[in-house]
Structure 1
Amino acid sequence: LTADPRIAGVCFTGSTDTAMLINQTLAKRKGAIIPLIAETGGQNAMIVDSTALPEQVVRDVVRAAFQSAGQRCSALRVLYLQDDIAERVLEILKGAMDELSVADPALWSTDVGPVIDQDAQAGLEAHLSKMLAAGKKVIAQTRLGKGCDKGFYIQPTALEISAIGELEKEQFGPILHVVRFKAKDIDLVINDINNTGYGLTLGIHSRNESFAEYVAQSINAGNAYINRDQIGAMVGVQPFGGQGLSGTGPKAGGPHYLTRFITEKTITNNTTAIGGNATLLSLGEG
C-alpha cells in the first residue's frame, strides 16, 4: 500500500521493525518525499527511589506491566528499584501477582487475558526460557487459570536482570524485568536507558521533586509520568508519542500532529524593483 504513488502521507502505529520497513519503502519511491508519522514500541522503564510509597508503586507497576496482557506500546518493561526499597516493593509485588486472575477476558473477574496469537505466545515463551537458561531469578509468576490451555496465554512473570542492555528487543507481553540500583548510580541508570535508543514512556516514583524532575528531563522519553502508571494517556490532555526507535516525534492528540502534513510556502517580494512599496511610502504623507 505505501508503495502506491497515490499515497501522499502515512500515519502508522505498530512495531519498530514495521515502521522502518515503511520508511524504507517510502524512501525508494520516485517523486516527492512522503511525510511519515510513526508511533512504535519501547523498552519502557520505571525508576523508583527510596522515598517512594511501596504500595502505590506496586499498584502502578501491576497496571503498567500486566493490563492488556502487557500488549500496549506504553507498557512497563523494566522496573528499576533503588536498593533501599527493593525488597519491600518486591514482597508486595509477589502478593499482588498471586492475586491476579489469568483467564478468559469475557469474564468480569479476569485481570489478564491471552496474547494476540500463537507466534506472540511462542516468542514470549522463548524469551522466558532464554532468561531462565541464563540463570535469571524469577521473582514472581502468576498461575494460569482454568481453560488457559486452549488459548495463547502467558504467565505474568517478574524476573530479575542486571541491566536493561541484556534485552535485545521489546518483549510485547506480560513480562516484567527488574533491575536494582544504588542511589549514587542514577546517572548510569539514565545512560543505560538512553543507550537503548528507544524513547516512548517513562515512569518515575519519588516524593523528592528535584529527583523526579532531574530524571524526567534527563531520559529521552516522549511521555514521562510521575507517581502514577505510564499507560492510558488521556486523549486531548496528554499528547502521546515517542522519539528515536519509538517514533518520529509529532504526538497523537497534540497540536503538531496534522502540521506534519502541511507544506509551507514563503513569498518574498523586492518592492524596490518597481519603485518601492506604495503603501509604505504613503505612510509619511499627510
Structure 2
Amino acid sequence: MWRQLRALRGCGRRWQHRSAIQVTNEPILEFKPGSPERAALQKALADLRGKTEDIPCVIGGEEVWTPTVRYQLSPFNHAHKVAKYCYASKELINKAINAALAARKEWDLKPVQDRAQIFLKAADMLSGPRRAEVLAKTMVGQGKTVIQAEIDAAAELIDFFRFNAKYALELEQSQPLSVDISTNSMVYRGLEGFVAAVSPFNFTAIGGNLAGAPALMGNVVLWKPSDTALLSSYAVYKILLEAGLPPNVVQFVPSDGPEFGDTVTSSEHFCGLNFTGSVPTFKRLWKQVSENLDRYRNFPRLAGECGGKNFHVVHSSADVGSAVNGTLRSAFEFGGQKCSACSRLYAPASLWPHIKEKLLEEHGKIKVGDPTQDFGTFFSAVIDAKEIFGPILTVFVYPENRYKEVLELIDTTTPYGLTGAIFAQEKEVIEESRRLLRNAAGNFYINDKSTGAVVAQQPFGGSRISGTNDKPGGPHYILRWTSPQAVKETHVPLRDWRYAYMQ
C-alpha cells in the first residue's frame, strides 16, 4: 500500500552530491473515498480501536517503568485509554542527563552528512510506510481530523526533517574567506551539555522538531513530550531510532512538568531549552535558568513559542467571502487549539451585517464529533477544559472611518505578537496596515487566514510574549543549536616578531 502512496506523491528530495540536496514540500494527500491513502488510514484507525499502548521512559536506550503510572485518554472518547505511560522521577531524569552526556562527544563529531541522512530516512519512513500509523495516532490521541493530522503529523514533520537536513548541509558549506598564506574554516559544533525539549499537545510535528533539530546539529536531548500527545510522540521517537538515531542521543522522558523543569535547569550541564507551551511555564523556566546561571558552564540557549491572541482585520474594501471563510478556518479548525488561531475579528460597521450573516450561516454547517468515524467532522473535542484555548472568536465592530485607530488598537490590545491577517483590496490600505502592524505579528498574512504556516515558505514564530521568534521552518533556526568555532591555519612560518615599520 505504501508504495502506491509514494507513487502518488513522487519523491520529496533528490541527491545532487554528498553535501547538498534539493528538497520540496511534502504534498498533502486528500483522502478521497476510494483512494489508497484513505484505505491505509482506515486500517490504521481500526488497528488502534480499543487498544492501549504501553509507553515507557527510554533512558540510555533501555525501557524503564516507574510506579507513577498515567493514562492518555482519547479526547473525544474518555473511555478509551490510548496509552499507558509513567513519569520519570528526579533520579531517572538525572540518569537520562548522564546517559545523554556520555554520547555527546561521539555524536557531535559525527559528520553532518551522516546525521542528516538519519533525518532524511525518517522523513521517507513518515512519507511512506509509517504515514498512516502516525496520522491515526494523532487523530485518536489528539482529536485531529484527517486533514489536520495530515498537515501536521505527515507533511509538516516530513518538511521539518528534510529542510533542516538541507539547511544543515548548506550551513557547513558556508565557509569564511581564505587568503594565500592561510586557510579559514568554520566548524559548527553542537552545544556543550544537553538540550531540554519540552513539546506541546497540539502538533505532533512540533515535538519531532523540538527534539530533532538540536539533535541534527550535534546536540544530545532530553525530550519531555506532552502527556496528551504521548501516543504520537512515541511513534515519532521510534521512527527516529529505526532510521538510525543512536539510542542515547535523544532520551524519551515523560515527566511531571515542574519536576522536569526543576531537575534540568539545576544541572550544571544544561545548555539549552527548546520549548513550546504556555507563557507562565516559559517564564518560570526562564527565571529558574537565571537563578542558576552561576552553576552553568555556558549561557544556555532559550528558545520558546508561547502562542498568541491573533487577529483578522477586515477593511471595507475586503472580499467578504474570503474573509469569512478564512476566519472560520482559522478560528475553528482543530477546535481553535492552534497557537496561530484567530481569536479577534475586527469588522467595519458597513460590512458587519453581511459578515455576521455569513459567519452564522457557515458556522451552523460545522460538524463536531468523532473524527475517526466520520471524515466529515470539522473539529472534535478540545484537550483541556480548564484553558481558554479553543473555538472562541470575539468580534469588534468599528466605524470604517476610524480604520487607522483600529490598527493602533490591534497593536496594543494584547502583549502577544504571533500572527495576524488583513483582508483588503486597496494597495494603499495594505501598505498602511503593514506599517502600523509591523510589530504586532511575527507571521503576517494579506488576504489569507492567520494559520497554516508552511515549512520553508513561512518560517513560524512571534515576539513580545509570544516567544523568542527563532523561526523554525527557516534556514536560521538551526543556528540556535550550534556553537560555531572559527579555525585559522597558516601555511607560512612567522620568521620575525617585528613588523616592517619597525625595521
CA apart distance, 1:263: 4.1
Query: Whole-Å Cα distance in 2 between the matches of residues 274 and 263 of structure 1?
Result: 32
Residue of 35, 41, 44 corresponding to 2:307: 41
Residue of 277, 284, 287 corresponding to 1:21: 284
Query: Whole-Å Cα distance in 1 between the matches of residues 268 and 330 of structure 2?
Result: 40
Task: Give the structure 1 partner of residue 464 of structure 2.
Answer: 244
C-alpha distance after superposition, 1:185-223 (max 9, x if no partner): 233222322222210000110111221222123222100
Alignment partner of 1:258 is 2:481: no
**Higher relative helix content:** 2
**Higher relative strand content:** 2
Query: Whole-Å Cα distance in 1 between the matches of residues 362 and 303 of structure 2?
Result: 38
Greater RCO between the two (CA within 8 Å, min separation 6)?
1
Query: Whole-Å Cα distance in 2 between the matches of residues 118 and 53 of structure 1?
Result: 35
Residues 423 and 447, structure 2, Cα contact 8 Å, conserved in 1: yes
> 1:21-100 counterparts in 2 under 5 A?
21-29=284-292, 30-31=295-296, 32-100=298-366
Alignment partner of 1:225 is 2:463: no
Task: Give the structure 2 partner of residue 212 of structure 1.
Answer: 430
CA apart distance, 1:267: 9.6
Query: Whole-Å Cα distance in 2 between the matches of residues 229 and 275 of structure 1?
Result: 66
Query: Whole-Å Cα distance in 2 between the matches of residues 254 and 276 of structure 1?
Result: 46
Query: Whole-Å Cα distance in 1 between the matches of residues 455 and 337 of structure 2?
Result: 19
Residues 78 and 179, structure 1, Cα contact 8 Å, conserved in 2: yes
CA apart distance, 1:16: 1.4
Query: Whole-Å Cα distance in 1 between the matches of residues 484 and 287 of structure 2?
Result: 25
Query: Whole-Å Cα distance in 1 between the matches of residues 482 and 400 of structure 2?
Result: 46
Query: Whole-Å Cα distance in 2 between the matches of residues 276 and 255 of structure 1?
Result: 43
Residues 331 and 341, structure 2, Cα contact 8 Å, conserved in 1: yes
Instruction: Provide TM-score, normalisation by structure 1.
Output: 0.73
Task: Give the match's secondary structure for 2:303.
Answer: strand
Query: Whole-Å Cα distance in 1 between the matches of residues 487 and 378 of structure 2?
Result: 59
Query: Whole-Å Cα distance in 2 between the matches of residues 77 and 276 of structure 1?
Result: 67
CA apart distance, 1:64: 0.2
Instruction: Provide TM-score, normalisation by structure 2.
Output: 0.42
Query: Whole-Å Cα distance in 2 between the matches of residues 27 and 261 of structure 1?
Result: 19
Task: Give the structure 2 partner of residue 274 of structure 1.
Answer: 497
Give the total of aligned pairs.
Answer: 224
Amino acid at match of 2:422: I
Task: Give the structure 2 partner of residue 180 of structure 1.
Answer: 397
Query: Whole-Å Cα distance in 2 between the matches of residues 182 and 37 of structure 1?
Result: 40
Residues 27 and 33, structure 1, Cα contact 8 Å, conserved in 2: no
C-alpha distance after superposition, 1:252-275 (max 9, x if no partner): 11222122244466899xx9x932
Q: Per the alignment, do residues 265 and 184 of structure 1 end up closer, same or farther by CA in structure 2, a change over 3 Å counting?
A: farther
Residue of 106, 116, 134 corresponding to 2:383: 116
Gap regions ≥5 residues in structure 2: 1-259, 489-493
Residues 205 and 227, structure 1, Cα contact 8 Å, conserved in 2: yes
Percent sequence identity over matched residues? 33
Amino acid at match of 1:251: K
Task: Give the match's secondary structure for 1:8.
Answer: strand
CA apart distance, 1:109: 1.5
Gap regions ≥5 residues in structure 1: 121-170, 278-286
Task: Give the match's secondary structure for 1:202.
Answer: strand
C-alpha distance after superposition, 1:73-132 (max 9, x if no partner): 000000000112111111100100111111122221211211003434xxxxxxxxxxxx
Q: CA RMSD in A?
A: 2.2
Amino acid at match of 2:478: L
Amino acid at match of 1:184: N
Task: Give the match's secondary structure for 2:395.
Answer: strand
Query: Whole-Å Cα distance in 2 between the matches of residues 40 and 266 of structure 1?
Result: 34
Alignment partner of 1:203 is 2:421: yes
Task: Give the match's secondary structure for 1:9.
Answer: strand
Residues 311 and 450, structure 2, Cα contact 8 Å, conserved in 1: no
Query: Whole-Å Cα distance in 1 between the matches of residues 291 and 486 of structure 2?
Result: 28
